């Protein structure tokens, strides 16, 4: 039995098939963890979601910003962007079942010595607190009527965590950190425009995982979202978005011995 954590797919199904062949995945024996962004920008979002949904308990997913964008758009509270490629899901006969499955996936997964989240964690959060906060957001997302959340979820403010936050502001900080964060200040103020290389980070900001005194160091954090980093193992973290969408590679990390596996990817995005 082995557990493999896989980087951002964004609708790239064929590389996933080759990666699973490479690692010899057996759904009766092994487990797959996906760091989020299952969908969008690649050619086969529908096949990706159906495949992972059908894995049942052999798969663990944390939601990424593109997955959440799909849910909000499907509910009519946002518009598709140029370059979005989720029409196959929106037009599928099993659309409602797939979207319902997706909105019931966690924002964060903690197991053993690992914590998986799509983007990052704020430096004020210990792992246990972050997981509790993720559950708060998940409860709103999986509610009988998630529309109020969809209407209030988007926005860049507040940009800093405060334990006194309540209501939509509180949930917005939680989801922004876990699905969008790349860099922040030493005080945890988030900046969302930067997507590029480490050398190009704006003055006063740093990667969230390098903030001095970061409290979430009891577990190794597995994350994606930042393709410019590529596969990057470091002290207390492993970045797993190796840019499959952009014609680089798709990565799986075997958690038992931290052995990485990579397959090349065709260019799927302009």
- Dump pLDDT digits (tens) for 246-262: 999 999 999 999 999 99
Average pLDDT of span 158-167: 98
Tell me what percent of the residues of the chain surpass a pLDDT of 70.
Answer: 99
- Rounded Cα distance between 186 and 194, Å, is 16
- Rounded Cα distance between 63 and 118, Å, is 6
Beta partners for 222? 116, 238
- Rounded Cα distance between 190 and 28, Å, is 41
Predicted confidence (pLDDT) at residue 269 exceeds the cutoff of 80: no
Q: Which residue ranges form the domains of the chain, and what is each CATH number?
A: 3-264 (3.60.21.10)
CA R_g for the chain: 17
**pTM exceeds 0.95, yes or no:** yes
Average pLDDT of span 18-27: 98
Handedness of CA 180, 199, 252, 116 (dihedral sign): negative
- Rounded Cα distance between 113 and 227, Å, is 24
Average pLDDT of span 40-68: 98
Report the C-alpha dihedral over residues 7, 30, 237, 185, rounded to 10 degrees.
Answer: 50
Q: What ranges make up the beta strands (E) of the chain?
A: 3-6, 31-34, 59-61, 108-111, 114-117, 183-184, 190-191, 206-207, 220-223, 232-234, 237-239, 249-254, 259-264
Q: Cβ(68)–Cβ(41) under 8 Å?
A: no
Average pLDDT of span 217-238: 98
Give the pLDDT band (50/70/90) at residue 131. very high
- Rounded Cα distance between 215 and 143, Å, is 30
Q: 149-161 pLDDT, tens per residue?
A: 999 999 999 999 9
Helical spans, DSSP H, in the chain: 13-23, 45-54, 65-74, 87-90, 95-103, 127-141, 147-152, 167-180
Predicted confidence (pLDDT) at residue 164 exceeds the cutoff of 70: yes
Average pLDDT of span 24-30: 97
pLDDT at site 270: 59
pLDDT at site 267: 80
Give the pLDDT band (50/70/90) at residue 1. very high
Average pLDDT of span 133-141: 98
Predicted confidence (pLDDT) at residue 101 exceeds the cutoff of 70: yes
pLDDT at site 19: 98
Mean pLDDT in the chain? 97
Predicted confidence (pLDDT) at residue 15 exceeds the cutoff of 70: yes
Classify burial at 166, counting beta carbons within 10 Å of its beta carbon; exposed 0-12, middle 13-18, buried 19 or more.
exposed
Exposed e or buried b per residue across 228-248, where buried means at least 16 C-beta atoms within 10 angstroms of its C-beta: bbbbbeeeebbbbbbbbbbeb
Average pLDDT of span 140-147: 98
């Amino acid at each position: 039995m082995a557990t493999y954590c896989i980087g951002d797919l964004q609708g790239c199904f064929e590389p996933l098939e080759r990666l699973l062949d490479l690692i010899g995945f057996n759904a009766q024996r092994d487990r797959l963890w996906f760091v989020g962004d299952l969908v969008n920008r690649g050619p086969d979002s529908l096949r990706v979601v159906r495949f992972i949904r059908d894995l049942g308990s052999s798969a663990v997913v944390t939601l990424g910003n593109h997955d959440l964008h799909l849910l909000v758009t499907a509910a009519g509270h946002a518009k598709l962007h140029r370059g979005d490629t989720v029409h196959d899901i929106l037009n599928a006969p099993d659309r409602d079942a797939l979207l319902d499955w997706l909105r019931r996936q966690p924002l964060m997964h903690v197991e053993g010595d690992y914590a998986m989240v799509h983007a990052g964690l704020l430096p004020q959060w210990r792992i246990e607190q972050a997981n509790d906060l993720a559950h708060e957001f998940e409860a709103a997302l999986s509610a009988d009527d998630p529309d109020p959340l969809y209407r209030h979820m988007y926005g860049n403010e507040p940009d800093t965590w405060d334990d006194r936050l309540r209501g939509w502001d509180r949930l917005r900080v939680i989801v922004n950190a876990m699905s969008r964060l790349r860099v922040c200040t030493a005080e945890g103020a988030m900046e969302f425009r930067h997507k590029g290389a480490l050398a190009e980070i704006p003055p006063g900001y740093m990667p969230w995982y390098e903030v001095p005194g970061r409290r979430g160091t009891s577990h190794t954090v597995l994350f994606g979202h930042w393709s410019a980093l590529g596969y990057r193992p470091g002290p207390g973290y492993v970045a797993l978005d190796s840019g499959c969408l952009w014609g680089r590679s798709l990565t799986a990390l075997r958690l038992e011995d931290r052995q990485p596996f990579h397959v090349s990817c065709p260019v799927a995005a302009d």
